[in-house]
Structure formats: C-alpha cells, structure tokens
Amino acid sequence: MPIVSFLKAACSLFLPPLCLGCEKHLEMDEKWVCKTCFLELVGNSTVAIRLFRASGQDLQVRYVTEYTPLVARLITSFKYCDRPGLVELLSLLLFSRLKGFLTGNMLLAPVPMHAAKLRERGYNQSELLCSRVSGLTGLAFRPDVLIKRAQTPSQVKLERHRRVRNLHGKLEANPHAPIEGRHIVIIDDVVTTGATLQECARALLARGARKVSACVVASSL
Ligand SMILES: [Zn+2]
C-alpha cells in the first residue's frame, strides 16, 4: 500500500469522518452529511422535468434537485473520490421523490461506461444508482441494456454540439436485452445538456423500445 493511502486509512480509524457538505465532524448517528446538510438536501428536493427529443419522440428527464453547491460536492465525491457508498443517500433521495412515477412494467437501465473507464474508476455510478433504485422499487433492472463500444473523451469540458458528435454511434442497445415494446427508464446522477441521455434513447428506440424516460438526481446547466 502506498504510504499516503496507508496514512489516510490509518487517520480515518481515529478521526470522526467529516460532513461531505460542510466538513463539520459527523456525530455517531450521521452518515455522509450532518443533519443540517441533510435537511438542506431534502428541503431543496423536488420533482421537475426537462423535456428533450430523441428520434421524433419526447424524452422526459425527471430530476429531484438542482445542482446546488452541496449536491455538487456529494456527486463529485460519489463519482470521482471513490465513495460508491454514497449511492445509499442519493438513491434514497431519488426514490423518495419519484416513487409515484417508478411503477408498472418499466425496465431500469444505466448509462453504460466503457470497460477501460470502469477499470479506472472501479464502478459505474449510474449502474450503482440503477441497482439500488431497482431494489427500492421492485422494478426490473439490467446492467447491459446499453453498451458503450468505444471510449469517448469525457463530456464534461465539451460544448453541446461537440458532446453530441462525441457520442454519436458509440452507444448501442444490446440485441439480447428485452427492449422491444418496453418502457425503459435510464437512471443517472446528473443531466447537463441531455446529449448522453438523448443518445441512449435513440439507441433504445432503434431497437424497438416503446418509450424511453430518464430519472436523475440533479440537473446542472
Ligand atoms: Zn454538513
């Protein structure tokens, strides 16, 4: 183990963890965030919809919070700081607001991650959320409904038109997944321009999906 990782691990044995929102020391009954940040998170949550188009159909993207500084810190920790356990908090937030929508015969699907990126990060945050939301709702979930064949540069720093071109044709719907005639709901952490979700929807509609929607934690513009 490198010395820095060793020291970090050793420190975390003795120091109480810090709130990911305000960096206050957490009480024994608090996890990830302190009570004040938790109340802020829940108090600011809502149900809102952004509407996109894909292959001539509406693509409704439901989200439960704006990308506030607190939400940004949580999602950044979840995605980039090796804290997959945050899926607990984020999936509960999503479920508590969207359980009325997440019913029936929907099939939940994550946004796919290329194998090389998956090896680097160790987990696909979209798949973790999807799996947890499936557990909470009882809705069917398959991790391989969509496949990412080619590795694409990160979308984060690209302009919108470049994002679309960056992804075009690189996401595919799995021909072996039960997509035809189904309402597929993509679960992810953040919607920004919507380009990734639109590309997912196009691929699924091309394979015969009846409808595609998405549920994400936060909307960032
Ligand atoms: Zn806090």
C-alpha span between 173 and 193 (Å, rounded): 21
C-alpha span between 207 and 188 (Å, rounded): 21
The answer to whether position 6 is within a domain reads no
Q: How far is the CA of 218 from the centre of ligand 1 (A)?
A: 19
Question: Which helix (DSSP H) or strand (DSSP E) does residue 213 occupy?
Answer: strand 211-219
The answer to whether position 177 is within a domain reads yes
Q: How far is the CA of 69 from the centre of ligand 1 (A)?
A: 12
Q: How far is the CA of 74 from the centre of ligand 1 (A)?
A: 11
Residues 6+ apart with CB under 8 A from 87: 78, 125, 128, 129, 132
The answer to whether position 32 is within a domain reads no
Q: Would you place residue 184 in the very low, low, confident or very high pLDDT band (cuts 50, 70, 90)?
A: very high
Distances from the Cα of 111 to the Cα of 42, 68, 74, angstroms: 25, 23, 19
Q: How far is the CA of 146 from the centre of ligand 1 (A)?
A: 36
- Is the pLDDT reported for residue 26 higher than 50? yes
When divided into structural domains, the chain yields a total of 1
C-alpha span between 132 and 150 (Å, rounded): 27
The answer to whether position 21 is within a domain reads no
Give tens-digit pLDDT for 125-163.
Answer: 999 999 999 999 999 999 999 999 876 656 555 666 665
The answer to whether position 135 is within a domain reads yes
Distances from the Cα of 24 to the Cα of 84, 108, 109, 116, 188, angstroms: 21, 36, 36, 36, 28
Give tens-digit pLDDT for 92-134.
Answer: 999 999 999 999 999 999 999 998 889 999 999 999 999 999 9
Q: How far is the CA of 27 from the centre of ligand 1 (A)?
A: 11
The answer to whether position 24 is within a domain reads no
DSSP 8-state code for residue 208: T
Q: How far is the CA of 31 from the centre of ligand 1 (A)?
A: 10
Report the candidate in 150, 115, 145, 149 with the shortest Cα–Cα distance to residue 130.
Answer: 145
For residue 186, give the CATH number of its domain: 3.40.50
Give me the amino acid identity at 210. R
- Please report the pLDDT score of residue 160 as a whole number: 63
- Domain limits for position 152: 45-219
The answer to whether position 15 is within a domain reads no
Average pLDDT value for the chain:
90
The answer to whether position 36 is within a domain reads no
> Is pTM, for the whole model, over 0.75?
yes
CB environment 41-66: b (16+ within 10 A), e (fewer): beeebeeeebebebeeeebebbbbbe
Q: How far is the CA of 88 from the centre of ligand 1 (A)?
A: 17
Q: Could you tell me what percent of the chain has a pLDDT over 70? A: 84
Cα dihedral 156, 19, 93, 9, rounded to 10, equals 70
